[in-house]
Amino acid sequence: MEYEISTGHNALERMLIDGSTEPMDLPLSLLEDITNCFSDDQQIGIGGFAVVYKGMVGNEPVAVKRLSRTFDMQENKFHKEVECLMRAKHKNIVRFLGYCSDTQGKIADYEGKLVMADIRNWLLCFEYVPNGSLDKYITDASHGLGWRERYQIIKGICEGLCYLHERRILHLDLKPANILIDNHMIPKIADFGLSRCLDKEQTRVFTSNLCGSMGYMAPEFYSGNISFASDIYSLGVIIVEILTGQKGYSEDDNVTESWTIQLQASDQADTQLEQVRVCTKIGIECMNLDPKKRPVARHIVDVLDKTKTTISIQKKLSSAVHHIIRRPRLLTAAGTQRRQRRVEASKCGCRAGARSCRTA
């Protein structure tokens, strides 16, 4: 047991140092050790299907997610989550470190009799993201985060979702509570408990079990016909919420006006207002009731990248035009001075030119 725990500690420590290390099968004894036997004091989050604990590996914290034992078809759900997490390695996705699927024999009371029962444990281990979830940062637009941070978060979420979709992964529960924020305010998509990995030719899934979070679920969730566009709808709700502090707010003119007032004192007001306009447009397009009319994740990322490039080009052009306009004026002024010296030199009869003329 001691050897197993020590070996596991060393492996996790190496993993935290080397970002290229693959997730691994972790012994239950190790996860119990680093969380103080899943002590209530170590709890950092609780949901309908799992409890999350903070664990310490050396001086580095990690997060350990313990899935509920009572949830129906939990083992199948666990395998699907691990499958998706093994595919996902991106700066805007919480890093997956390892998993544990373990069976323990324990004495339990069954119909008044003590029996030996097999207890299943399903656990997942992740990097620890210290600043909590996005929902704690987006109240209304006039409080909390400034535009620079909000734009960085929007762009990061879009890039993370694009990565998932290009690897055929549906998240299916995208919401601010499932987006974690690190020390540099970089967003990381988390909680793949409802996610699905699709085959190469597969574009949608059908389900009779309504899952997801109210307010962020696309309308087609209710018919059980789910596709990548369903995640895009959730993304749109999140973008608008980051912009306004409200879910489902779609008055784009009011959004721009609100941010115009807030950004008027900024030395980058024009750049930031253009970003606001682009993000507002993207958010509203993502919430189109028709899944076929929603943009795909790659297009959204390309638009955001193009906006950054366009603004940079506009700045360079503006600087160049300003330089060109000012330069002839300087040349004209210098030319006027030279002509004036020549006139004065000719008046005094100096043949050497204006520079030699003392009266000039």
Residues designated catalytic: 173
Could you tell me which residues come within 8 angstroms of residue 106 by beta carbon, excluding any fewer than 6 positions away? 116, 117, 119
Backbone angles phi, psi at 55, to 5 degrees: -120, 155
Contact criterion met (CB below 8 Å) for 185 and 152: yes
Question: Does 65 belong to an annotated binding site?
Answer: yes
Structure tokens at 48: 């309908």
Q: What does the alpha-carbon distance between residue 333 and residue 328 come to, in Å, rounded to a whole number?
A: 8
Q: What DSSP state is assigned to residue 23?
A: P
Structure tokens at 175: 């919401």
State the Cα angle at 93 between 90 and 97, rounded to 5°.
85
Measure the N-to-C terminal CA separation of the chain; round to a whole number of Å: 98
Tallying the residues shown for the chain, one arrives at 360
- Distance, C-alpha 101 to centroid of its chain: 29
Burial 59-76 (b: 16+ CB within 10 A, else e): eebbbbbbbeeeeeebee
Which DSSP helix (H) or strand (E) runs through 195?
Answer: none
Q: What does the alpha-carbon distance between residue 238 and residue 139 come to, in Å, rounded to a whole number?
A: 12
Is the torsion defined by CA of 65, 70, 72, 76 positive or negative? positive
Which residues share a beta bridge with 104?
119
φ/ψ region of 209 (left if φ > 0, alpha if ψ in -120 to 50, else beta) reads beta
Q: What does the alpha-carbon distance between residue 226 and residue 204 come to, in Å, rounded to a whole number?
A: 5
Backbone angles phi, psi at 39, to 5 degrees: -65, 145
How would you list the strands of the sheet with 50-57, edge to edge? Answer: 24-25, 96-110, 113-127, 60-67, 50-57, 43-46
| Residue stretches of the annotated binding site | 65
| Residue stretches of the annotated binding site for ATP | 65
